């Protein structure tokens, strides 16, 4: 399976996926890192790993749809089978989702359906819940609402700070994302 990973920031989930591929724990190929942010550390990670980078700022286009049409052409030219969102901080339009319907996955730092949106860890922490989690799901037109592929709960410990909770959630993400993609691969193989 040929993957395109989309990142806007640090890229720790991208790194976890690249490491899983390199160690042959994930039988896939990351053929492209797509980023909308030239300052993204994920871009440096991809360059170090020898993975091609598609870095195109949406600000260069008159509309988001125009930017997405170009990205879809790039993905198709690379034979991408699965779009993997890993800290990509843009909401995709129905056009893009339709172009890759059923072939876009996302990782979200909460046990969905709780705490949707961009600040899930902070929102869970501030709500004082006893547990939150991580969810890998299919992407649909509705934010953080697609069918769940894998989920794992994360307890909020007494004495946790936002930083300590974030660290534990990210550690779970780094294990769960490769496992979720393995699950998708095994379904395709049947």
- Catalytic residue set: 108
Residue 39: both structure tokens together: 């300052």
129 beta partners: none
CB 68 within 8 A of CB 6: no
What values do phi and psi take at 167, rounded to 5? -60, -45
Q: Containing H/E element for 131?
A: strand 131-138
Query: What DSSP line would sit under 3-70, residue for residue?
Result: EEEEESS--HHHHHHHHHHHTTSS--EEEEEEES-TT-HHHHHHHHHT--EEE--GGGSSSHHHHHHH
CB 33 within 8 A of CB 7: yes
Q: How far is the C-alpha of 157 from the C-alpha of 165, rounded, in Å?
A: 8
- Taking only Cα atoms into account, the Rg of the chain, rounded to an integer number of angstroms, comes to 16
């Amino acid at each position: 399976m040929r993957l395109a990973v989309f990142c806007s920031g640090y890229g720790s989930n991208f790194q976890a996926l690249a490491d899983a591929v390199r160690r042959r724990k994930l039988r896939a190929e990351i053929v492209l890192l797509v980023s909308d942010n030239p300052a993204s550390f994920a871009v440096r990670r991809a360059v170090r790993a020898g993975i091609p980078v598609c870095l195109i700022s949406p600000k260069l286009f008159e509309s988001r749809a125009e930017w997405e049409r170009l990205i879809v052409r790039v993905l198709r030219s690379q034979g991408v089978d699965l779009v993997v969102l890993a800290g990509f901080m843009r909401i995709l339009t129905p056009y893009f989702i339709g172009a890759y319907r059923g072939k876009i996955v996302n990782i979200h730092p909460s046990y969905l359906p709780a705490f949707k949106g961009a600040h899930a860890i902070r929102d869970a922490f501030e709500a004082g819940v006893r547990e939150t989690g991580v969810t890998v799901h299919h992407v649909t037109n509705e934010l953080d609402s697609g069918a769940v592929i894998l989920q794992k709960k994360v307890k909020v410990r007494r004495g946790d700070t936002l930083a300590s909770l974030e660290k534990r959630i990210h550690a779970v993400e780094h294990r769960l994302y490769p496992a979720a993609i393995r699950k998708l691969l095994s379904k395709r193989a049947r």
